[in-house]
Amino acid sequence: MFGRRLVSLALLTLLVALSACSQAATPSQPAAKQDAPQPSAPQQAATQAPAPQPAAPTQAPAQAPAAKQEAPKTAPVTGKLGGEIRYGMNNEPDSLDPAKTAQASAFNVMLNLYDTLIWQDPADLKYKPGLAESWESSADGLTHTFKLRKGVKFHDGTPFNAEAVKFTFDRLADPATKSPFALGKLGPYQETKVVDEFTAQVVLKAPYAAFYDALSQTWLAIVSPTAVKKYGDDFGRNPVGTGFMKFKEWVPKDHITLERNNDYNWGPTFWNHVGPAFLDRITFLGISENGARLTAFESGDLQIIETVPEGDFDRLKKSGKYQMFTSRTPGAPMTMFMNTEKPPFNDINVRKAVLQGLSRPDLINTAFFGLYTPADAPLADNTLYYAKKAGGMYPYDLEKAKKLLDDAGWKVGSDGVRAKDGQKFVVDYVNLTTYEPMVVATQALLKPLGIQVNVKVFDQATRVSMGHKGEGNLFSTGVIDSDPGAIQLVYHSRNLGSFNWSRIKDTELDKLLDDQAKEPDPAKRAALLEQAQVRIMENAYSFPVYNFARLFAVSAKVKGFRTHPLGSYPYLYEVSLE
């Protein structure tokens, strides 16, 4: 089950998602191995419109200057009105409620349904007005006042106002909501004060360096209070926002369909037109098996697919029939997490042996046809405050890795598998079906070390549940986020039972992650994050594998394709069909 069309990589997030962080995301880069870690200028396929140039990373300030409403665009609308896009994702979301999900696939759909108070421009990475026309912050960085846009309505007719902002943020902060990701993005939230109908004042308990960055992400999008009260726990299956698309239906394990919001007239000024979207409908299909997704695309049933199988990317590009995009994402790279709670990875020297004895280039070349660059730190190299000091600690050295295992008491048996105290060195590598090439390649590359890897691939829900419960030895995921503090999701002890899949309990690391989140001084925050990254690598809590990029294939009939600053999500508002 390991071949050219098999499985490419899906990325969760967290969120985020996963979700948090400040980036230099390249909307489209050449699909080739990069020699330099810095984002390069994008290259376009013959039929592709020029993409915006990448900008240098910027920090999300603890205090942002007052933002003024920008003049509306006067450029003519050039897209053709009408039509439907069928979009193939690598998995079905768990929920379309920003408060209840941490999945990248959910963000992908929610970006069309909801608006945020502010937006981040992918061209210059500056914050621009959204549902808030302007904002200002107090000198201490604790009070943030937003002047809201008038005349906006949710899809159910509920007026957008300061009460809706308060409802959204209070709901996230409520422990009963059990938000897996958005709560972390909200930071040290204290309350929202309704100054008047169109003025909301958000008060924080402490300075929060990533606050404006967080507000620009869909995890903190404003939801309809009426709809949440009506649907309760089922709101995630009946989402209502103010976005350019409205929810139509969700047929589980089949498709999610959105329809144009004809009243929409409040998008950010950096979008390429004003008023309603061009498309009548967008239908998202979660197809985890790469071969099936690719076949549906090449047959014309899908117009856009993500996570193109690496082995097919160049073939599709050379055919000249399609537009091909490689979009780097900021945040935490694709990372292998080792369960530190139980043998064999409860021993730091065993973890170090894996870091020393598993070749990243060989893994990338074997599983992904060399399309990605190796990662060597807890942050991707295009993310703000990536620490070079944390990288390069474990150069590939198979003999040194073997000695570490020998010294730790794991001796090679007659069958070539190591053992200690009667226990074989056999580990379960739990992953999503889409990740299978990575798992199979890891199995082959760890065999010379005397480590036997069992391939365990499942659907998204099962894989995430097993990771949360620690039911396995190895797990992989990454974090798509523009603020570097997002790595707390996978390394802070408060996220045991969530995405802390290495099961780390490190009070010193927790303090570093907590302190950086409230540090307003960029230099001091950089130092704290460097210390955190170094500590993670010194303790061999994880194995950063490669710097993630989302691979897209787009029909030649699709015009206006480009991606969000987080790299993994397209702005379908701008898309039209020929």
Strand partners, 428: 454
- The pLDDT of residue 185 is 93
Residue 435 banded pLDDT, cuts 50, 70, 90: confident
The answer as to whether 459 is a domain residue is: yes
Half-sphere exposure of 217 (CA within 13 A, CB side): 40
Same structural domain, 116 and 140: yes
Same structural domain, 255 and 383: no
Phi-psi region of 82 (alpha: psi -120 to 50; beta: other; left: phi over 0): left
Which is more confidently placed, 480 or 75? 480
Report DSSP state, residue 141.
S
Helices (runs of H) and strands (runs of E) counted in the chain: 15, 23
The residue-averaged pLDDT of 512-540 equals 95
Same structural domain, 287 and 343: no
The answer as to whether 61 is a domain residue is: no
For the cut 50, the answer to whether the pLDDT of residue 68 exceeds it is no
Q: Which two tokens stand for residue 73?
A: 């665009």
For the cut 80, the answer to whether the pLDDT of residue 576 exceeds it is yes
- The pLDDT of residue 146 is 98
Residue 134 three-state SS? strand
Residue 29 banded pLDDT, cuts 50, 70, 90: very low
Residue 46 banded pLDDT, cuts 50, 70, 90: very low
For the cut 70, the answer to whether the pLDDT of residue 98 exceeds it is yes
The answer as to whether 36 is a domain residue is: no
Greatest Cα pair distance in the chain? 77
The residue-averaged pLDDT of 52-78 equals 39
**Domain count of the fold of the chain:** 2
Query: Domain with 503 in it: what CATH number?
Result: 3.10.105.10
Same structural domain, 483 and 340: yes
The answer as to whether 64 is a domain residue is: no
For the cut 90, the answer to whether the pLDDT of residue 389 exceeds it is yes
The residue-averaged pLDDT of 439-464 equals 96
Q: In what order do the strands lie in the sheet with 549-555?
A: 245-251, 255-260, 281-286, 84-89, 304-306, 549-555, 322-328
Supply the range of the domain harboring residue 303: 84-328+550-577
Give the percent of the chain with pLDDT over 90.
80
Same structural domain, 498 and 555: no
CA angle 187, 206, 524 (to 5 degrees): 90
Picking from 336, 327, 412, 378, the residue whose alpha carbon sits closest to that of residue 25 is: 327
The residue-averaged pLDDT of 85-89 equals 97
Residue 40 banded pLDDT, cuts 50, 70, 90: very low
The answer as to whether 56 is a domain residue is: no
Residue 450 three-state SS? coil
The residue-averaged pLDDT of 492-506 equals 96
For the cut 70, the answer to whether the pLDDT of residue 426 exceeds it is yes
Query: Domain with 209 in it: what CATH number?
Result: 3.40.190.10
Residue 125 banded pLDDT, cuts 50, 70, 90: confident
* Tens digits of residue pLDDT in 325-353: 999 999 999 999 999 999 999 999 999 99
Same structural domain, 452 and 400: yes
- The pLDDT of residue 20 is 33
> Alpha-carbon distance 123 to 565, whole Å?
8
Same structural domain, 218 and 134: yes
Average pLDDT, the chain: 87
- The pLDDT of residue 123 is 86
CA angle 174, 177, 178 (to 5 degrees): 105
Lookup result for tokens 């592709």: 48
Residue 544 banded pLDDT, cuts 50, 70, 90: very high
Cβ atoms 555, 304 nearer than 8 A? yes
- The pLDDT of residue 11 is 36
Same structural domain, 246 and 383: no
Cβ atoms 158, 227 nearer than 8 A? yes
* Tens digits of residue pLDDT in 367-378: 999 999 999 999
Span of 30-39, 159-168, 181-190, 200-209 with lowest mean pLDDT:
30-39
- The pLDDT of residue 23 is 31
Same structural domain, 351 and 309: no
The residue-averaged pLDDT of 261-269 equals 96
End-to-end CA distance of the chain: 38
The answer as to whether 18 is a domain residue is: no
Same structural domain, 134 and 223: yes
CB atoms within 10 A of CB 296: 16
Same structural domain, 289 and 177: yes
- The pLDDT of residue 73 is 43
For the cut 90, the answer to whether the pLDDT of residue 315 exceeds it is yes
Same structural domain, 211 and 337: no
Span of 236-245, 272-281, 476-485 with lowest mean pLDDT:
476-485
> Alpha-carbon distance 56 to 430, whole Å?
36
- The pLDDT of residue 77 is 52
Residue 462 banded pLDDT, cuts 50, 70, 90: very high
- The pLDDT of residue 520 is 87
> Alpha-carbon distance 356 to 452, whole Å?
17
The answer as to whether 63 is a domain residue is: no
Cis check: omega of the bond before 333, within 30 degrees of 0: no
> Alpha-carbon distance 507 to 509, whole Å?
5
The answer as to whether 184 is a domain residue is: yes
Cβ atoms 155, 246 nearer than 8 A? yes
